[in-house]
Amino acid sequence: MSGISFEFFPPRSNEASDVLQETVDILAAFQPAFQSVTFGASGSQRNGTLETAISLQSRTGIPAASHLTYTGSEVKDVQEFADQLWDAGVKRLVALRGDNRKDGSVQNPFADTPEFVSALKSCHPFEIAVACYPEVHPKAKSREADIAVLKAKQDAGATSAITQFFFDNSLFYEFVEEVREAGITIPLVPGILPIHNFEKVKTMAKECGTSIPDHVEEAFSEARILGTNETEIAAELLKAQVHDLACAGFESIHIYTLNRAPLASIAAGAFLAAHESKLNVEEEKKVA
């Protein structure tokens, strides 16, 4: 089992389902620690998440993690969903607040995400990951408040935190330092987003508060001018990012696959290779 995890979303058509199965089969070769399935905003696509998580787990034998959000749900829905997962053998969750509905209405059955994590833990002894934000959640009162919420999620029983996607590793390293100083000890797993379409990623990054470093912006501008394939640029950036993370000692990454295999494979392969060569160097140093 590797330190890789892959994230998928539930397919919405037979064709999309075939693509997902093919992707999952290709990525299974990396022996991921788990594969997670996202949860539709406000509880939509609930069944899609459940079915997909169960089917991925039984198809590959790799543990599935179901994302679960509470905004827009009721306590009984959350409990029912947690029971269905547990009974089907899905023992991992990524527990999240979820975003408010587009119409602005908010229905929150839990006071906050730490309370949600505690409630899930008391339903069943799930392994629970939560989200964290190296560049601060856009709705957080402050960086300190954001980190305090993460600490409360750890105290409520979360055993790891997956980051929002980022492209500037130095910001992640600063975040890790601050988080450790705040007494947070759970593993922080870098969330890696392959860039399939730079313009779309720029829009998403703006919404999420993720910065686009100059070297990334410049690489894609140059590709446009020279007519270079964007995928080649994305692959080089990914390799450099995950290599740096492995060399900095991070043992796990979570790859937002968008249900596509090629760039996710490149990221996983590069991370594992860098991790292994780091271990070999350390071993050689011990022997010398």
User: Binding residues for ligand FAD, per CB under 6 A?
Assistant: 38-39, 41, 67, 69, 94, 96-100, 112-113, 131, 137, 139-140, 145-146, 149, 153, 162, 164, 191
Distance CA 23, CA 192 (A): 17
Known catalytic residue at 7 = yes
Closest among 262, 271, 254, 234 to 6, alpha carbons compared: 254
* Residue of 7, 51, 218, 282 marked active site: 7
Residue 94 pairs with which residues in a beta bridge?
Answer: 67, 129
Q: Considering Cα of 279, then 280, then 282, then 287, what sign does the dihedral take?
A: positive
Nearer to ligand FAD (CB atom), residue 150 or residue 233: 150
* Phi-psi group of 33: left, alpha or beta (phi > 0 → left; psi -120 to 50 → alpha; rest → beta): alpha
Nearer to ligand FAD (CB atom), residue 67 or residue 275: 67
Rounded least distance, CB 151 to ligand FAD, Å: 11
Rounded least distance, CB 166 to ligand FAD, Å: 10
Nearer to ligand FAD (CB atom), residue 113 or residue 219: 113
Rounded least distance, CB 127 to ligand FAD, Å: 15
- The burial class, CB within 10 Å (0-12 / 13-18 / 19+), for 103 is exposed
Q: Exposure pattern of 41-72 as b/e (b: 16+ CB <10 Å)?
A: ebbebbebbbbbbbbbbeebebbbbbbbbbbb
Rounded least distance, CB 98 to ligand FAD, Å: 4
Residue 93 pairs with which residues in a beta bridge?
Answer: 66, 128
Is 92 within 8 Å of 66 (Cβ atoms)?
yes
Nearer to ligand FAD (CB atom), residue 31 or residue 107: 107
Nearer to ligand FAD (CB atom), residue 144 or residue 222: 144
Rounded least distance, CB 120 to ligand FAD, Å: 12
Catalytic center residues: 7
